[in-house]
Structure 1
């Protein structure tokens, strides 16, 4: 069955976002709001987050609007607030929420707050978060808040989410370890919290006066990089003080300390989520509620304490801050999501960032593939270089060699470095690639990175083969794979998703005979050369199928790359009518597979796409999906020692093995995101109201891939 509407609808949005009543302090749904360009760039997802639309305040002077938004509490935000006051319009301050994207990520924030009173990080006036906390536990989701907090702690999410876990060497003794959080000079959160340089001096003096304490200073990353100065920087060489400037996750440090002291850092909240005692010398949003030992001085701190009179526990704070105050939006789909879904996205990005490190040398990559490789291999801890004919020095300066497909590596003698052989990663298109051919330079939405071999080379092990042989496919993963497979079939997604040509009536032409599809391939294609194909050409394969199925209606599908190369030139050779009853080109593959009774391939991916649709498949070679008990095989692999069900094959081949990238959001993503993106690209039409509800159910199934 095909879907004839765009993939995301209002119904689906309701299924993925929180379903409670819209908070009263937010703009009305579909409000027309004004914002400066800087704010719109800094928070490009405000509109989806609060179901409003933003227009440029610079071009709309005096135009009708429902309100104004400003980012943070800087000068431009004050100008926006003044504009709202002059034009008698409501004003909202927007800022990052409490679940933050990795610090070096180019992704927009997954959580956004919209405040009609002030902003949570400013102690100089009330905020909506203060009102929620001061008003008591009127929200019904304390248990959900506890579950969310425990998940954040268990997964060790934090502001420096992109940094790896690592060993931190601290002095061994029996004294209390106080972790002092340094901040960069010029950090606006300090002034917003009613603090200044004097607050850091008082924090330092108090720590030094505590004779039972062992002081550890955590340096700000910008200070380590030389981009800023730290307030505690002058004290790092003081006798007995330990200094941590290692680029590791905050949790690696929190594991070792007894207390955290801070002026206004978000890291204080992350310590509180772990129920580590926190001492504050400013008034950040989490201070003044009985959660912290508050030592801030000054008029702003006194006023904030006077407003924050209620004591709350950490789950009540998490409920107000994470579930009530914050709104969540997925930067890939650009649709509202829940806090729990935001956690999933952050975990995916962290896994992607941490999987990439060191210097990658990509050898003999064509120019159009270089930007693709930078996209897939770049991270805060990696460097991507290219060489056509690499020198010995270039190879020795690399940590990993990257090759396309089954390309020959450099000479073996050049690959040894420090007594170890440089690892080689081979790259190939994924199995759900794009809306268009690679030969047309359409960038891939998925690539396979293999450290053992490559999936189409059946003569040697590959990482995919190892995954399929050894993974414990639990019920959650199999359920996700099943939902993904059903979505692919329902949406008619294939590898290339080409605009189809007119297709014949296959059943009408067959006149009652069984329909057998034979998938053509490009001559000398690597998957044929290394896939142990039992026939030398498409023609030989067709003759073999005709001998095996003499009464069948045989359809021969020519490969789209071969047709694209032949366009405007001599057409590819065609088999005789004795071998094939019908020859087709770029017809809709999904329609074709629905019509046929069985599929014969050498190593073509069409065999895998037929398996997804639960069609019988005969393999006259050894593609990656053969040898697992799901296909009729003419070639046997002794390495494939396990029988798999279809969902296990899908889990390995589509979820665990490839990496995915959203060409729309320009961000790492997952298989489900690419399926949705390709479907939108193919259709782009308004939803059919009669199928809206059914479509929402399908998309909800897709979105709930890990539930």
Structure 2
């Protein structure tokens, strides 16, 4: 058999004999190979560098026979210990696997690579590294803070087991689970474990936790009922962290939950031989003669999670680190908590509903799209529900409904990093904002973004992250819609160059956020009046140019006041050429601030009033001074939600930038506006379909 040094990472081609394994996204990366071949023929054995089987499944026997027949290294793969959001039986692909050239971690009948790592059986104690153990402690701390587990699709609600009393958790498993037999146990072990839990804890309530696969209806368990009055079967989908917080002791046969309970500092009794038993951290009822060395919980974690497991970077198909997976899973759990409850949605056009379900996703919650207040009443809305509205499209009936039930209205709008393509072309957005106070473009009342900018105490880490994000945005040349061409835009040397971005004139941000100047022509007139010697570039809004929205200015009228009308170039190129930007409420003003440009605002956009812009009409509520990176931290890190349209999972602004860059045409241009009416309608149909099904 091969050694680890000749293993993953050195392979070109790996042969597998499990079709399910071959279908795992990025399986080659997880295996450390360039490519994976399903069921290679004997004639092609010279092309294969190694063979990998899935655990102790029957297909692994076929794989092992092939490896022996052709004298090839054989390894076993299994799910990692921080696997995914959803269950494997639900087809959620793994973010982590383990590879083992000796056995497999759950098979105590023979040594595994993990057991050798823990026991330092190769004469080298890798767990003596202080830096490794410090990394393990940091990871454990974040896992506990985020409430993470192997699977992470439990509802984010606290559980209620009743009045405080001593409780013991007994963990059931699925009937036929290989880890039971391989862990020196059988079906009778579960009965013995329950009897011991009752006998050893006479004053405690015994809580049997049903396995998630049983709850999903995919499998059966061992402990499905009990007649003892002290036994409660907890057959609900709950986060393990919530259960650990409610119990004093945990009994397992071979379940991974036993090790997770150790991370929460619980006393754990093992009736089988899981990988973490036999090292002094657990109360063991089965002796494992090979395991005698004493190891602490952080050492066991370092061996299993840091040295043994392999990870994917969630936002790509590249190899990753545990910290990236922890951050990703923590983001899913945190966003689930924000989406918790039954959500009643109003004002969403049909094509938005598919992707809105992804943005509002939360285990245990329900999303209802309602035509009006009466439909919501029929669907069972109550005071515990939440109301979600697109922009300000609620009817008076919906407002009365919210008032009657005492439910605040959450308003949704496109985020500031939206898409490659226009919203009016029905392009699925990469980010949205959800605001329970107002909405960012309405300065007549506070919004969550305004409250963040006025009141939030940002950490040093957040501001540093915002600075890096801003730098990456500038390097990439991304904007909200990423339309227009990369081309030359000549401007004269000498006079200051002022960019005047056009807007959609019936847009709510103009209706609510402007005082005197309310039209594109009026803005051009005001700029020329105050800056008679400047070189003024007017750039019409892309939605107006495309013919989808109102706000067109006759070209002759525009050129009578400005020096150049630019319709084709991207906004990033226009900003590069400009010295300053004059705007009503356009997001282009924010993008100019990112580039250190002078910005004069004639309305009251969200980025005005913080000491970064010259404001013609200040907002009295906004009194705090902010740096540009603090503005970025609030507007791009804290306020929006980002969605990976490839996976349907929540993601980060950094990953969103890379995804948008990948969407852009690689020949130096981005999304063109000058397409025919027929082609635009076809584009809308395509994007509407994507929105309905939330297809990538």
With normalisation by structure 1, the TM-score equals 0.86
The runs of 5 or more residues in structure 2 that have no matched partner are 669-696
The match for 2:571 is 589
Go from structure 1 to structure 2 and tell me whether the alpha carbon gap of 1:170 and 1:537 turns closer, same or farther (over 3 Å shift).
Answer: closer
Map 1:94-173; keep pairs closer than 5 Å.
Answer: 94-104=77-87, 108-135=93-120, 137-139=125-127, 140=129, 141-159=132-150, 161-163=152-154, 164=156, 166-169=158-161
The match for 1:427 is 412
Q: What is the CA distance between 1:670 and its match in structure 2?
A: 0.8
Q: Is the 8 A contact 1:107 1:667 kept in 2?
A: no
Go from structure 1 to structure 2 and tell me whether the alpha carbon gap of 1:604 and 1:25 turns closer, same or farther (over 3 Å shift).
Answer: same
Q: What is the CA distance between 1:384 and its match in structure 2?
A: 1.8
Q: What is the CA distance between 1:465 and its match in structure 2?
A: 1.2
Q: What is the CA distance between 1:177 and its match in structure 2?
A: 4.1
Residue of structure 2 aligned with 1:484, choices 459, 463, 469: 469
Q: Is the 8 A contact 1:178 1:216 kept in 2?
A: yes
Go from structure 1 to structure 2 and tell me whether the alpha carbon gap of 1:592 and 1:276 turns closer, same or farther (over 3 Å shift).
Answer: same
Aligned partners of 1:252 and 1:662: how far apart in 2?
Answer: 28
**CA-atom RMSD, angstroms?**
2.7
Range moving further from structure 2, 152-161 or 332-341: 152-161
The match for 1:705 is none
Is structure 2 residue 33 aligned with structure 1 residue 33?
A: no
Residue of structure 2 aligned with 1:263, choices 233, 253, 266: 253
Go from structure 1 to structure 2 and tell me whether the alpha carbon gap of 1:432 and 1:413 turns closer, same or farther (over 3 Å shift).
Answer: closer
Q: Deviations over 1:623-663 (max 9, x none)?
A: 11111111111112122221211111111111111100112
Residue of structure 2 aligned with 1:294, choices 261, 284, 287: 284
The match for 1:62 is 43
Q: What is the CA distance between 1:559 and its match in structure 2?
A: 0.8
Aligned partners of 1:437 and 1:315: how far apart in 2?
Answer: 50
Q: What is the CA distance between 1:664 and its match in structure 2?
A: 2.9
Aligned partners of 2:344 and 2:41: how far apart in 1?
Answer: 50
Map 1:205-224; keep pairs closer than 5 Å.
Answer: 205-210=195-200, 212=202, 214-220=204-210, 221-224=212-215
The match for 2:596 is 614
Aligned partners of 2:336 and 2:597: how far apart in 1?
Answer: 38
Q: Is the 8 A contact 2:213 2:219 kept in 1?
A: yes
Range moving further from structure 2, 595-604 or 557-566: 557-566
The match for 2:676 is none
Higher relative contact order (Cα pairs below 8 Å, separated by 6+ residues): 1
The match for 1:372 is 355
Q: What is the CA distance between 1:496 and its match in structure 2?
A: 1.2
The runs of 5 or more residues in structure 1 that have no matched partner are 1-21, 297-301, 687-707
Go from structure 1 to structure 2 and tell me whether the alpha carbon gap of 1:367 and 1:566 turns closer, same or farther (over 3 Å shift).
Answer: closer
Classify the secondary structure of the residue corresponding to 1:343: helix
The match for 1:695 is none
Q: Is the 8 A contact 2:18 2:54 kept in 1?
A: no
Aligned partners of 1:448 and 1:391: how far apart in 2?
Answer: 27
Q: Is the 8 A contact 2:544 2:551 kept in 1?
A: no
The match for 1:409 is 395
Range moving further from structure 2, 331-340 or 589-598: 331-340
With normalisation by structure 2, the TM-score equals 0.87
Q: What is the CA distance between 1:308 and its match in structure 2?
A: 2.4
The match for 1:697 is none
The match for 1:4 is none
Residue of structure 1 aligned with 2:531, choices 543, 549, 573: 549
Classify the secondary structure of the residue corresponding to 1:427: strand
Is structure 2 residue 241 aligned with structure 1 residue 251?
A: yes
Residue of structure 2 aligned with 1:439, choices 379, 402, 424: 424
Q: Is the 8 A contact 1:182 1:217 kept in 2?
A: no
The match for 2:562 is 580
Q: Deviations over 1:502-546 (max 9, x none)?
A: 33222xxx2321101101012212221121253131111101100
Q: What is the CA distance between 1:589 and its match in structure 2?
A: 1.9
Aligned partners of 1:629 and 1:172: how far apart in 2?
Answer: 52
Classify the secondary structure of the residue corresponding to 1:638: coil
Q: What is the CA distance between 1:327 and its match in structure 2?
A: 1.5
Aligned partners of 1:442 and 1:675: how far apart in 2?
Answer: 16
Is structure 2 residue 527 aligned with structure 1 residue 539?
A: no
Go from structure 1 to structure 2 and tell me whether the alpha carbon gap of 1:606 and 1:533 turns closer, same or farther (over 3 Å shift).
Answer: farther
